[in-house]
Amino acid sequence: MKDKKKRNIICTIILVIVVIALINFANTNLDAYVVRILNLCAIYTIIGLSMNLINGFTGLFSLGQAGFMAIGAYTVAIFTLPLDMRSTVYYMEPMNAAIANIHLDFVPALILGGIFAGIAAFLIGAPVLRLRGDYLAIATLGFSEIIRILLTNWQSVTNGALGINKIPDNANNMWWSFGISIIVLVLISLLIRSSYGRVFKAIREDDIAAEAMGINLFKHKVMSFVIGGFFAGIGGGLYASLLGTVDPKQFYFTLTYNFLLIIVLGGMGSISGTVIASFIVTGGLEILRGFDEPLVIGGYEISLFRPGFSMVIFSVLLMVIVLFYRKGLMGRTELSWDRLFNFFAKIKAKFSPKTAKEGGAK
Amino acid sequence: MTLELFLQNLANAIAVGSLYALIAVGYTMVYGILRLINFAHGDIFMMAAYFTVFGIVDFHLPWYFACIFVIVLTAGLGMLIERVAYRPLRDAPKDSILVSAIGVSFLLENLANYLFSGKPKAFPDFLGLMSTVSFGSVTIQKVSLVVPFVLIICISILLFIINKTKLGMAMRAVSKDYEIARVMGININFVIAATFGIGSSLAAIGVILWGMKYPQVSPLMGVMPGLKCFVAAVIGGIGNIKGAVLGGFILGLIEVMLVAFLQPLTGYRDAFAFILLILVLLVKPTGLIGEQITEKV
């Protein structure tokens, strides 16, 4: 038992060192395109985790992630935009005087974006979280549309449909995106293991029973929703900084479906599943993008490959997972060293039948 | 504001409301039976629009035949979706079915984008209803005059089916208690498939008239009407057909009138429905004429 614990700690330390070394290596040696994709993976992990906290761990079927992201993204975009560039970006209508001269550094802007998203989550959550399952889905989806419509029409603050470009490039550095996503990962893991996390799971399993046990349903649902909104806002801020440009069309509610696929693939209620799935889905989408280009083999153009094909595959994938692998990769379990070593031991046993038998005889 | 302007907008509001009502009924029927938001309903509506374009523009069908073609095809699509995406998950947790519904909706949008290209197509004026008629100084599109009558006919037929036929009785039984209905020997799968078929064919009728009013067909055309009609169904009280019609009219009226008389709010047109939804859910979560649902443990 003690040996195992020791082994696990050593493994964790090695993993941390390897991850840091890999980030360091990737940051300096890989080309910009790959670094960008990896950063996107890390950012999607943050938002996937925030959505899994709400949907997977608390059992609230929310589709508002794109709205929270949009709030975080626009906050970062507006406040980090250098003062001297503002008049060229806001050329249709000058920026609202109240915010025109406020400039924040990246980190305060990011946190502010998270806080704004959290406040929005509270404002929408307080009335809507009394609803059950599918009503909540529609109401949160409606909320994310309201945000998008607001962004399109609030010309003097958000620059309307033109969006904001020339956002300073902060997140396109692996230390930022991976660093923040690891912090978020640790925070959410700690939250899930705390007494609050157990309350969230109790609500997910049976909210009526949870209420009968004396849990304040409303308080905890709102809490999970606000924390989820906060992290989605942080993720959105990083996203804006990575892309360098935001406009309302990016935050169409179908963006939420990316994260839905991530948490369904990873397993609703599994942190490690979400991390794995974020990388698979984001990387997969990048690879699938190749299918949108016309493919010519031996002078024949294969008409299967044309714009839109990648999204067809994406949606078929979502359907296949939910129809045939409802639990996703991890179900509700987490990846742990014990599990990993047991898994390897099993494989080892499979390939050496003799030792397996002997072990059984003892 | 002049009286003419008001009348013109009123006619428009009634037409839009009737169209919302037609689509909302499809939502409410499926919800009544499966307790599921059929996210794909708006996209079934979109596919029906493409069927119409193909039937008229590409196959040159005569109008009556085109209508039947579109309705049958759309009903078939609705039943196919139920068979492939919802039936295998009948005993699965609620969330999985919801994800499946979202998946179908997303798949239909992407498929339409892939197969028919994202470029909007023009909806053909094959019924000759796009032109306008004038009563004095009030000018109204012909389709706006036709829509309410179509709605009345459709709803009458629907209410007849639900209240007077054996299938309707089975539908009511299934929506009351799914398990008991199954025990009583009702062929649940058939009843549910029939519900999807009827709901989808109403969407098809809706789109034929919708296209006359908004003659542009694109892969995402079904999203907003779909979401709004769901909101209409919730406002009226989901699961209740009269409620869906009422909700459709309320939504149509508010939307058209607000845009007509509060010009600066035009950009926010699509947000009204959701704000209204949140307000209704706060004040009367079961809708205006919905039944009270007690939570069962």
Q: For residue A362, what pLDDT band results from cuts at 50, 70 and 90?
A: very low
Q: Minimal Cα distance from B101: which residue of A? A: A319
Closest Cα to residue B267, out of A345, A153, A303? Answer: A153
Q: Minimal Cα distance from B219: which residue of A? A: A308
Query: What residues of B are in contact with residue A323 (Cβ under 8 Å)?
Result: 85, 88-89, 100
Instruction: Decide which of A225 and B119 is more confident.
Output: A225
Number of domains in chain A: 2
Instruction: Decide which of A301 and A100 is more confident.
Output: A100
Report whether pLDDT(B173) > 80. yes
Residue B227 distance to chain A (closest CA, Å):
8
Q: How far is CA B91 from CA A119, A172, B86, B297, in A?
A: 37, 45, 10, 17
Amino acid letter, A159: N
Say whether B140 sits in a helix, a strand or coil: strand
Tell me what percent of the residues of chain A surpass a pLDDT of 70: 93
Q: For residue B242, what pLDDT band results from cuts at 50, 70 and 90?
A: confident
- Cβ count within 10 A of residue A322: 28
Is B111's CB within 8 Å of A264's CB?
A: no
Return d(Cα B75, Cα A110) in angstroms, integer: 49
Q: What is the average pLDDT value for chain A, to the nearest integer?
A: 84
Per-residue model confidence (pLDDT) at position B212: 87
Q: For residue A153, what pLDDT band results from cuts at 50, 70 and 90?
A: confident
Q: How far is CA A207 from CA A49, A195, A204, A264, in A?
A: 22, 16, 6, 22
Residue A185: inside a domain: yes
Report whether pLDDT(A6) > 50. yes
- Cβ count within 10 A of residue B178: 18
A11 and A90 within one domain: no
Q: Minimal Cα distance from A309: which residue of B? A: B114
Residue A134 distance to chain B (closest CA, Å):
7
Report whether pLDDT(A361) > 60. no
A201 and A91 within one domain: yes
Per-residue model confidence (pLDDT) at position B292: 59
Per-residue model confidence (pLDDT) at position A168: 81
Residue A257 distance to chain B (closest CA, Å):
8
Please tell me chain B's helix, strand, coil percentages from 3-state DSSP, rounded to the nearest 5: 75, 5, 20
Q: Minimal Cα distance from B269: which residue of A? A: A149
Report whether pLDDT(A358) > 70. no
Return d(Cα A185, Cα A278) in angstroms, integer: 13
Instruction: Decide which of A309 and A186 is more confident.
Output: A186
Residue A315 distance to chain B (closest CA, Å):
5
Q: What is the average pLDDT value for chain B, to the nearest integer?
A: 86
Report whether pLDDT(A171) > 70. no
Amino acid letter, A332: R
Is B99's CB within 8 Å of A260's CB?
A: yes
Is B102's CB within 8 Å of A319's CB?
A: no
Residue A166 distance to chain B (closest CA, Å):
26
Asked if A216 contacts A26 with a C-beta cutoff of 8 angstroms, the reply is no
Report whether pLDDT(A94) > 80. no
Is A141's CB within 8 Å of B113's CB?
A: no
Instruction: For chain A, give the longest Cα–Cα distance.
Output: 81
Report whether pLDDT(B77) > 50. yes
Q: For residue A360, what pLDDT band results from cuts at 50, 70 and 90?
A: very low
DSSP conformation class of A290: G
Instruction: Decide which of B19 and B36 is more confident.
Output: B19
A103-110: average pLDDT: 88
DSSP letters along B28-59, please? HHHHHHH----TTHHHHHHHHHHHHHIIIIIT
Is B107's CB within 8 Å of A141's CB?
A: no
Where is B92: in which H helix or E strand? none
Report whether pLDDT(B67) > 50. yes
Q: Minimal Cα distance from B88: which residue of A? A: A323
Instruction: For chain B, give the longest Cα–Cα distance.
Output: 62
Return d(Cα A104, Cα B22) in angstroms, integer: 51
Q: What angle do CA A132, A188, A45 make, to 5 degrees?
A: 90
Query: What residues of A are in contact with residue B274 (Cβ under 8 Å)?
Result: 139, 142-143, 145-146
Is A323's CB within 8 Å of B88's CB?
A: yes
Q: How far is CA A102 from CA A151, A152, A153, B182, in A?
A: 19, 22, 22, 65
Q: Minimal Cα distance from A125: which residue of B? A: B278
Q: For residue B45, what pLDDT band results from cuts at 50, 70 and 90?
A: very high
Q: Show Cβ contacts of residue A160 under 8 Å, excluding neighbours closer than 6 positions.
A: A92, A93, A151, A152, A153, A154, A248
Most A CBs within 10 Å: which of B27, B95, B238, B286, as the mutation test of the A interface? B95
Torsion sign across C-alpha atoms A145, B106, B285, B246: positive
Residue B26 distance to chain A (closest CA, Å):
16
Asked if B235 contacts B247 with a C-beta cutoff of 8 angstroms, the reply is yes
Residue A202 distance to chain B (closest CA, Å):
15
- Give the CATH number for residue A288: 1.10.3470
Instruction: Pick from A10-14, A25-29, A45-49, A322-326 the range whose average pLDDT is largest.
Output: A45-49
Closest partner CB to B270 (pick from A149, A254, A260): A149
Per-residue model confidence (pLDDT) at position A83: 82
B160-184: average pLDDT: 88
Is B110's CB within 8 Å of A146's CB?
A: no
Report whether pLDDT(B72) > 90. yes
B50-72: average pLDDT: 88
Say whether B133 sits in a helix, a strand or coil: strand
Tokens encoding A84:
């001297």
Query: What residues of A are in contact with residue B275 (Cβ under 8 Å)?
Result: 146
Closest partner CB to B37 (pick from A131, A134, A208): A134
Most B CBs within 10 Å: which of A138, A256, A260, A262, as the mutation test of the B interface? A138
Query: What residues of A are in contact with residue B267 (Cβ under 8 Å)?
Result: 149, 152-153
Residue A349: inside a domain: no
Q: Minimal Cα distance from B87: which residue of A? A: A323
| Sole residue written with tokens 């599918």 | A134
Report whether pLDDT(A118) > 90. yes
Strands (E), B204-288: 216-217
Per-residue model confidence (pLDDT) at position B153: 92
Return d(Cα A180, Cα A191) in angstroms, integer: 16
Per-residue model confidence (pLDDT) at position B71: 93
Asked if B17 contacts B248 with a C-beta cutoff of 8 angstroms, the reply is yes
Chain A residues at the B interface, defined by Cβ less than 8 Å, are 55, 59, 61, 63, 124, 127-128, 130-131, 133-135, 137-139, 141-143, 145-146, 149-150, 152-153, 208, 254, 257, 260, 264, 268, 306-309, 311-312, 314-316, 318-319, 322-323, 326
Domain that holds residue A197: 35-331
Residue A359: inside a domain: no
Which class for B2: exposed (0-12), middle (13-18), buried (19 or more C-beta within 10 A)? Answer: exposed
Is B281's CB within 8 Å of A139's CB?
A: yes
Residue B95 distance to chain A (closest CA, Å):
7
Residue B181 distance to chain A (closest CA, Å):
23
Count the alpha carbons within 13 Å of A329 in the hemisphere toward its beta carbon.
20
Q: For residue A52, what pLDDT band results from cuts at 50, 70 and 90?
A: very high
Per-residue model confidence (pLDDT) at position B215: 85
Q: For residue B64, what pLDDT band results from cuts at 50, 70 and 90?
A: confident
Most B CBs within 10 Å: which of A65, A93, A134, A249, as the mutation test of the B interface? A134
Asked if B101 contacts B230 with a C-beta cutoff of 8 angstroms, the reply is no
Instruction: Pick from A79-83, A205-209, B200-204 the range whose average pLDDT is largest.
Output: B200-204
Could you state, in order of their start, the residue ranges of all structural domains in chain B? 3-283
Tokens encoding B145:
């005059």
Tell me what percent of the residues of chain B surpass a pLDDT of 90: 27
A252 and A306 within one domain: yes
Chain B residues at the A interface, defined by Cβ less than 8 Å, are 35-37, 85, 88-89, 92, 94-96, 98-100, 102-104, 106-107, 109-111, 113-114, 117-118, 227, 230-231, 234, 267-268, 270-271, 273-275, 277-278, 281-282, 285, 295, 297
Report whether pLDDT(A262) > 60. yes
Task: Provide the β-strand partners of residue A221.
Answer: none
Q: For residue A190, what pLDDT band results from cuts at 50, 70 and 90?
A: very high
Closest Cα to residue B254, out of B228, B287, B217, B234? Answer: B228
CATH-assigned architecture of domain B3-283 = Orthogonal Bundle (1.10)
Residue A281: inside a domain: yes
Asked if B124 contacts B112 with a C-beta cutoff of 8 angstroms, the reply is no
Report whether pLDDT(B296) > 60. no
Asked if A239 contacts A259 with a C-beta cutoff of 8 angstroms, the reply is no
DSSP conformation class of A300: E
Per-residue model confidence (pLDDT) at position A133: 67
Is B103's CB within 8 Å of A61's CB?
A: no
For B85-131, how does the pLDDT look when each residue is reduced to its tens digit (9 = 90+)? Answer: 988 888 888 888 888 988 999 999 989 988 888 788 888 887 777 77
Q: For residue A332, what pLDDT band results from cuts at 50, 70 and 90?
A: confident
A327 and A219 within one domain: yes
A62 and A25 within one domain: no
Calculate the dihedral angle through the C-alpha atoms of B98, A201, A129, B35, rounding to the nearest 10 degrees. 30
A300 and A223 within one domain: yes
Q: For residue A359, what pLDDT band results from cuts at 50, 70 and 90?
A: very low
Report whether pLDDT(A354) > 60. no
Task: Provide the β-strand partners of residue A246.
Answer: A164
Report whether pLDDT(A76) > 80. yes
Return d(Cα B86, Cα B105) in angstroms, integer: 12
Closest partner CB to B103 (pick from A141, A311, A318): A318
Report whether pLDDT(A232) > 90. yes
Tokens encoding B96:
């999985």
Asked if A321 contacts A265 with a C-beta cutoff of 8 angstroms, the reply is yes
What is chain B's Cα-based Rg? 19
Count the alpha carbons within 13 Å of A320 in the hemisphere toward its beta carbon.
7
Report whether pLDDT(B1) > 70. no
Closest Cα to residue B117, out of B53, B41, B208? Answer: B53
DSSP conformation class of B7: H
